[in-house]
Structure 1
Amino acid sequence: MELLHNAVRAYAWGSRTAIAELLGREVPAPHPEAELWMGAHPGDPSRVLRPDGERSLLDLLVEDPVGQLGARGADRWGSRLPFLLKVLAADEPLSLQAHPSAEQAARGFAAEEAAGLPMDSSVRNYKDPSAKPELVCALTEFHALAGFRAPDRTVALLRSLEAPDFAPYTELLAAQPDESGLRALFTTLITLPQTALDALLPQVLDACVLHVKAHGDFDLECRTVLELGEAYPGDAGVLAALLLNRLVLRPGEAIYLPAGNLHAYLHGTGVEILANSDNVLRCGLTPKHVDVPELMRVLDFACGDMPVQTGERTAPGLWTYRTPSPEFELSRLELDAGAQLRVDHSGPQILLVAQGRARLANSSGATLLVERGHSVWLPASDPAVVVTADEPTRLFRATAGTD
């Protein structure tokens, strides 16, 4: 078990306080800090802290995949850590996006490679042949758009808006309130000519203002559209947001985002775990490349309430967030002062202390004090670890899936 030195990614939508505070640095930070990366992503791998200096976790995996990942992990993933753990801190909305399945990613990557599209091209969709499912667990109140709302509820929302020019679009879904109707309406909205969009959006935004003033049933949804309209004027993603579930996660609550799920994180701090991939297909709320035809091949129009997890209690003080993803599994440890929990594992793990302070010890006699904001690498070859909380402590445990 070894401490990690992790990269902080600076994006414009990030927070100047959340990650700096977590790491015990000066607040506010000099620039927005969006993500803290823990893992072996080639773009910014963590560094393992050793008495003789730092070593890239990426290099350690290449040198000893069986020792680091275990025989089963090395057989399946080679020398690649299949997951990436992040702390994500959003002060502004991220782009509206979806991720491909493994089959879609492999096909798209092969097609772009065959076309000779440079890896750093601004119009490249597929940076690797891998799926990118993800799960986000709230550390603070966390706001998101995720998954298509049930069509009858969306029709009710759209009909509550006094925007006469939008009525034909509303009735398009009302006439076919199912997945096919959602696909038809979404496709229509996301492909509107800019001149039509520029005429329609102000009317929808004005209708949202009136709805909020009247304390209508869809107050939060309308406030969100107004915020997005101000941040991204003239963007079709503002209209698309009307079709999605608007979620507010409390600390400890999580959502799993499988392939094809259209989503956007809006505000808050959370722990995110995802497959170690860079494949993102965007459809709005961004100045970056948008490929609507490719997005439409990936999107899943299954609709209804987005499932929110609180974790399954799998041991005293341990909650696990179940997903079908073979690349990752996330667990949350909640320990009172003096409480202990044995952490067994057959594969690689990363432990992150999100609150409090913990002492780690294993049967080999090794011990490690881990402060808030710090994380630990546990290779598969290490013995099981006993975690002892010095004070009320919350940790997150990332490892590969158990399928």
Structure 2
Amino acid sequence: MDRLTNTVRPYAWGSTTAIPQLLGTEPTGEPQAELWMGAHPGDSSRVDRGSGPVALSELIDADPEGELGKVAADRFGPRLPFLLKILAAGSPLSLQVHPDLPQAKAGFADEEDRGVPVEAPHRNYKDANHKPELICALTPFEGVCGFRPPAEAAELLASLEVDSLEPYVDILRAEPEGDALREVLTAVLTAERGAMAETVARAATAAERLAGHDGPWQDDYAAYAFLARHYPGDPGVIAAMLLNHVRLQPGEALFLGAGVPHAYLDGLGVEIMANSDNVLRCGLTPKHVDVPELLRVVRFEPTAPGVLRPETVGGDGAQGTYRTPIDEFRLSRIEPAEGDGPLRLGTGTPDILLCTHGTVRLRSGAEELLLTPGESAFVPAAEEVTVSGEGTVFRATVAV
């Protein structure tokens, strides 16, 4: 097993304090958005096996079967199929959606054939992979995720009493659900920008007012007013009102499959995803929004957020797994306690173990690693590891 040296990504939406507080370091005053753990080509973790630091991606390239195990290497190829992160949102991320695997393959091939540079700001597909993801809250965590039922969205918009929203309300009430959601989202994203900015401003003022009064959507209106303060005039504010507002408590998680629009607003969490950079944006961003391609990828159907909690594995209450319908990753939450015997993890798959609370002890044969909050380790497939101590550790692996 190898202790990982990881890089913090300084995206503008990142919190200036959450990751430093977890790591026990002094804030720099700059945003610290994501701490990456894995072998992503954009920023691989590093390990030291005695001859100096080397990228984890290089170790896997040199011996895919030895590091990943035969089953994972055969199933996913010579690469770690997931990326683990600590995500710290200090302000809202862009409203976005991810393609499914056939869409990603077709979109990537098309842009390659047309010679669109991978680094071009208008490029949609950076690779040929899909990007399902799971976010698990470490602190209270807020976001929007999946379409509301159109009738509910209509009532929410109507309560704002903004004249320019009335056509959307009529569509949401009259059309079949999928058609209504498609028609309204299309209208919002293609509206004349000046007129839409005025609509957003009036809707934000109304949402701020309604957030101060008891009602079924009081918290939702507060969230939309929060979005409007960060992105004044952005059509994504109205698009977000079509989505479910969700709050996670520590230990709760959300799974985001293909075609489901979502945005994270605030909080600290552990995120795991398939190794891809494919993002199609719907709003809340100054970046490129490709409306036709976005509309091709979005699944226009009401989707409840489906909050996940860890399910006990094998009768051992110390380890619980967040069940998801994909193979590239599986995330478990392990809570060893002093006095309990060591928890033995299975072999045959590559693991990343991340400590988020307390101190946990990893042992493999005569080797031992202590992990404190924010520290992590890579465990090759053939290596058997036990976990003990007092704290919380997340285990990222593959579901094969």
- 2:341 is aligned with 1:342: no
Task: Report the residue type matching 2:173 in the other structure.
Answer: A
1:162-181 residue pairs with structure 2 within 5 A? 162-176=161-175, 178-181=177-180
Task: Report the residue type matching 2:371 in the other structure.
Answer: V
Q: Distance in 1 between matches of 2:360 and 2:208?
A: 48
Q: Relative to structure 2, which stretch is displaced further, 103-112 or 334-343?
A: 334-343
Q: Distance in 2 between matches of 1:106 and 1:69?
A: 24
SS of residue paired to 1:356: strand
Q: Partner residue of 1:217?
A: 216
Pair 1:19–1:213, CA change in 2 (3 A)? closer
* Cα drift, residue 177 of structure 1: 5.2
Q: Distance in 1 between matches of 2:361 and 2:211?
A: 50
Q: Distance in 1 between matches of 2:231 and 2:319?
A: 41
Q: Partner residue of 1:2?
A: 2
Instruction: Note the aligned Cα RMSD (angstroms).
Output: 1.3
Q: Does the 8 Å contact 2:201/2:232 carry over to 1?
A: no
Q: Distance in 1 between matches of 2:99 and 2:303?
A: 20
Unpaired segments ≥5 residues, structure 2? none
2:396 pairs with one of 395, 398, 402? 398
Q: Distance in 2 between matches of 1:148 and 1:358?
A: 40
Q: Distance in 2 between matches of 1:217 and 1:370?
A: 44
Pair 1:93–1:82, CA change in 2 (3 A)? same
Task: Report the residue type matching 1:201 in the other structure.
Answer: V
Q: Give the fraction of aligned pairs with identical amino acids, expressed as a percent.
A: 49
Q: Does the 8 Å contact 2:154/2:168 carry over to 1?
A: no
Q: Does the 8 Å contact 1:152/1:177 carry over to 2?
A: no
* Cα drift, residue 249 of structure 1: 0.1
SS of residue paired to 1:170: helix
Task: Report the residue type matching 1:386 in the other structure.
Answer: T
SS of residue paired to 1:110: helix
SS of residue paired to 1:75: helix
Q: Partner residue of 2:267?
A: 268
Q: Does the 8 Å contact 2:68/2:80 carry over to 1?
A: yes
- 2:45 is aligned with 1:12: no
Q: Output one character per residue of 1:84-112: Cα deviation in whole Å (capped at 9) or x when no partner.
A: 00000000000000000110000000000
SS of residue paired to 2:349: coil
Q: Partner residue of 1:285?
A: 284
* Cα drift, residue 199 of structure 1: 3.1
* Cα drift, residue 23 of structure 1: 1.8
Q: Partner residue of 1:313?
A: 312
The number of aligned residues is: 397
1:360 pairs with one of 340, 352, 362? 362
Task: Report the residue type matching 2:121 in the other structure.
Answer: S
Pair 1:209–1:369, CA change in 2 (3 A)? closer
- 2:333 is aligned with 1:332: yes
Task: Report the residue type matching 2:339 in the other structure.
Answer: G
- 2:143 is aligned with 1:144: yes
Q: Distance in 2 between matches of 1:95 and 1:333?
A: 31
Q: Distance in 1 between matches of 2:218 and 2:198?
A: 23
Q: Output one character per residue of 1:351-390: Cα deviation in whole Å (capped at 9) or x when no partner.
A: 001101111112x3222222221101001121x211111x
Task: Report the residue type matching 2:398 in the other structure.
Answer: A
Q: Distance in 2 between matches of 1:343 and 1:141?
A: 29
Q: Distance in 1 between matches of 2:255 and 2:376?
A: 23
Q: TM-score, normalised by structure 2?
A: 0.96
Q: Does the 8 Å contact 1:68/1:379 carry over to 2?
A: yes
Q: Does the 8 Å contact 1:338/1:388 carry over to 2?
A: no
* Cα drift, residue 294 of structure 1: 0.5
Q: Partner residue of 1:247?
A: 246
Unpaired segments ≥5 residues, structure 1? none
Q: TM-score, normalised by structure 1?
A: 0.96
Task: Report the residue type matching 1:158 in the other structure.
Answer: L
SS of residue paired to 1:317: strand
Q: Distance in 2 between matches of 1:316 and 1:232?
A: 44
Q: Relative to structure 2, which stretch is displaced further, 220-229 or 39-48?
A: 220-229
Q: Does the 8 Å contact 2:37/2:84 carry over to 1?
A: yes
Task: Report the residue type matching 1:8 in the other structure.
Answer: V
Q: Distance in 2 between matches of 1:202 and 1:388?
A: 53
* Cα drift, residue 197 of structure 1: 0.7
Q: Partner residue of 1:351?
A: 353
Q: Output one character per residue of 1:174-206: Cα deviation in whole Å (capped at 9) or x when no partner.
A: 112512211111111121111321332222223
Q: Output one character per residue of 1:300-326: Cα deviation in whole Å (capped at 9) or x when no partner.
A: 122142100011111221110111111
Q: Distance in 1 between matches of 2:211 and 2:388?
A: 49
SS of residue paired to 2:169: helix
Q: Does the 8 Å contact 2:48/2:54 carry over to 1?
A: yes
